[in-house]
Amino acid sequence: MQHPVAMAGPHGKPGNEPAVQAPRHGKGISCPKTLYKLPPFVPGLRVGLFGGSFNPPHGGHKAVSLLALNRLRLHRVWWLVTPNNPLKDARQLAPLALRLEAARNISRHPRIEVTAIEASIGATFSFETISYLKRRCPGVHFVWVMGADSFRYFDRWQRWREIAKLVPIAIIDRPGFTLTAIHGRAGQTLAPFRHGETSATNLATSTPPAFLFLHGPRSPMSSTELRSKRRFELETK
């Protein structure tokens, strides 16, 4: 597959980027300001949006990204490292800079970009982020990439029906959620718009609502389990 080579400036069209807000860094950690801006883009680019706390990031996140790049014929996957998560306990959230640095170390792939653009634009909900990106990046074909475990509770997300009308959605199979994800409220509501897995290469240019379920090698890793394991190791030292 041919991939675009020329990009519009370092971060799309110059002059329209929001002012970068001072991030909450972890002690002794500093991140390049470029991480708080949009990755490079040009019209026609096919980009997977993989949002999350990445608390912490792990190999499973990278495996999902590589599967999406390959099966959806994407040019890039952007890891949208959120400053907070309305559905999770903020007390368990590591500082944004720590998570960004860890995400950079884990992702390490020429077609995976790590960004904290949500911190720059002050977005709290995914709907706000996607709406901004659609306005800011005309001509870019976005696909929302999410695990089946997240899709199972997609109906709890702010304005989830409107998200489905903004971008096609790729759901990546996760252990324990193969069946329950599709039979949840969101899965049943969006069932008429489900595409077959064999049409995955066309999803990025499909008119939303449109979603499909991708099967592939499943990683049992989860950020929750990694945090629990880390706490256990600290407590038993």
Q: Is 98's pLDDT higher than 60? A: yes
| Tens of pLDDT, residues 46-61 | 999 999 999 999 999 9
Q: Is 12's pLDDT higher than 70? A: no
For the chain, give the mean pLDDT. 84
pTM: 0.83
SS3 category, 216: coil
**Total structural domains in the chain?**
1
Task: Choose among 141, 195, 186, 194: nearest CA to 167.
Answer: 141
Query: Residue 167: left if φ>0, alpha if ψ -120 to 50, beta else—which one?
Result: beta
| Tens of pLDDT, residues 139-158 | 999 999 999 999 999 999 99
SS3 category, 36: helix
Q: Is 228's pLDDT higher than 80? A: no
| Position 103 in a domain | yes
Report the alpha-carbon distance of residue 103 to residue 91 in Å, rounded. 20
Q: Is 21's pLDDT higher than 90? A: no
Q: Is 215's pLDDT higher than 90? A: yes
| Position 57 in a domain | yes
Cα–Cα distances (Å) from 50 to 26, 61, 188, 204, in that order, read 23, 9, 23, 14
| Position 25 in a domain | no
Residue 44 exposed, middle or buried by CB count within 10 Å (0-12, 13-18, 19+): exposed
Starting at the earlier edge strand, list the strands of the sheet with 46-52.
Answer: 112-115, 76-81, 46-52, 141-147, 169-172, 211-214
Residue 222 exposed, middle or buried by CB count within 10 Å (0-12, 13-18, 19+): middle
| CATH code of the domain containing 134 | 3.40.50.620
pLDDT of residue 229: 41
pLDDT of residue 60: 93
| Tens of pLDDT, residues 161-200 | 999 999 999 999 988 888 889 999 999 999 999 999 999 9
Q: Give me the residue label for tokens 């029906």.
A: 161
pLDDT band for 43, please (50, 70, 90 cuts): very high
**Highest mean pLDDT (candidates 31-40, 65-74, 216-225):** 65-74
SS3 category, 141: strand
SS3 category, 75: coil
User: Domain range holding 158?
Assistant: 45-235
pLDDT of residue 6: 43
Residues, the chain: 237
| Position 61 in a domain | yes
Report the alpha-carbon distance of residue 13 to residue 19 in Å, rounded. 15
Which is it for the CA torsion 118, 122, 125, 131, positive or negative? Answer: negative
| Position 11 in a domain | no
* Greater pLDDT, 65 or 4: 65
CA atoms lying within 13 Å on the CB side of residue 233: 6
| Position 52 in a domain | yes
8 Å CB contact between 86 and 124? yes
Q: Is 219's pLDDT higher than 90? A: no
| Position 10 in a domain | no
pLDDT band for 218, please (50, 70, 90 cuts): low
| Position 144 in a domain | yes
